[in-house]
């Protein structure tokens, strides 16, 4: 994979030919969370795609912003895609927070997006975000000035977060520069009272409904063990995305692509690559 950093968002690229597929991660994530699936889709076995793994604003190696806004995130993603491949259209894949951003990109700039894959999120406000607040508090409480090593950071997180996979996921954002540690997450924006949790969990209903429905194909992928998509979400989703097809992945929670990477790879291969060959 090759990395690109400029004023636009930080990206990793995989593949040199085929349809273009961009991946957006969820909250606290990074573009490289999609590396395994991107490598599979851009490989030499007849599944050629040009994949772009994007770090959202305030995450990973991308620039930080002054305030949180789904619309601003979407504008940054769209600008990055246009700069990467001027005049070309993309399949855009987004998980959780990245799924919301991807939906807004498709609704606001439909000329840029050919197909959309939304992973385990719906176009609505999510009332419960206490887990987000808890994770932020735990991460910000780490004594970075006296932290000897990453193992110590993991042990400190594990006292409050018993799931080793979640600890590892969060710790990917901890970086060491010489003897100094820092977080790559812009907590000041994402955790700001009144804008952070409400914004991250929200959905810009008035702005989104002002757009025309997105007419391209949409794959809506849910984890069978996740609670992020309910039966009540189907009608508003179809109102915005009339050509949506829902797929439920067995033995998968909210992080569907981590729980079942081979299944998600097959879904995206059929959705983005097989369809592209027929046109």
Distance CA 140, CA 157 (A): 10
Active site residues: 96, 188, 254
101: region left, alpha or beta (phi > 0 left; psi from -120 to 50 alpha): alpha
- Kindly state the tokens that stand for 70: 């789904």
């Amino acid at each position: 994979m090759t990395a690109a950093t400029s004023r636009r968002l930080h990206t990793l690229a995989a593949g040199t030919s085929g349809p273009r597929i961009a991946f957006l991660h969820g909250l606290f994530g990074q573009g490289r969370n999609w590396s395994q699936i991107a490598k599979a889709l851009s490989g030499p076995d007849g599944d050629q795609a040009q994949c772009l793994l994007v770090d959202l604003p305030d995450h990973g190696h991308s620039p930080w912003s002054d305030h949180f806004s789904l619309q601003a995130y979407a504008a940054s993603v769209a600008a990055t895609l246009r700069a990467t491949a001027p005049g070309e259209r993309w399949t855009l894949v987004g998980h959780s927070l990245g799924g919301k951003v991807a939906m807004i990109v498709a609704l606001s700039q439909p000329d840029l997006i050919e197909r959309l894959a939304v992973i385990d999120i719906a176009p609505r406000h999510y009332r419960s975000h206490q887990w987000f607040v808890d994770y932020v508090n735990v991460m910000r409480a780490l004594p970075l000035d006296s932290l000897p090593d990453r193992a110590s950071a993991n042990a400190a997180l594990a006292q409050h977060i018993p799931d080793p996979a979640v600890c590892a996921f969060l710790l990917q954002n901890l970086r060491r520069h010489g003897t100094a540690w820092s977080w790559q997450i812009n907590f000041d924006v994402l955790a700001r009272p009144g804008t952070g949790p409400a914004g991250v969990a929200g959905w810009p209903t008035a702005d989104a409904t002002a757009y025309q429905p997105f007419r391209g194909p949409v794959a809506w992928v849910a984890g069978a063990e996740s609670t992020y998509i309910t039966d009540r979400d189907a009608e508003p989703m179809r109102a915005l995305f009339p050509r949506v097809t829902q797929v439920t992945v067995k033995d998968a929670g909210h992080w569907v692509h981590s729980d079942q990477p081979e299944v998600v790879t097959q879904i995206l291969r059929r959705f983005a690559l097989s369809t592209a060959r027929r046109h």
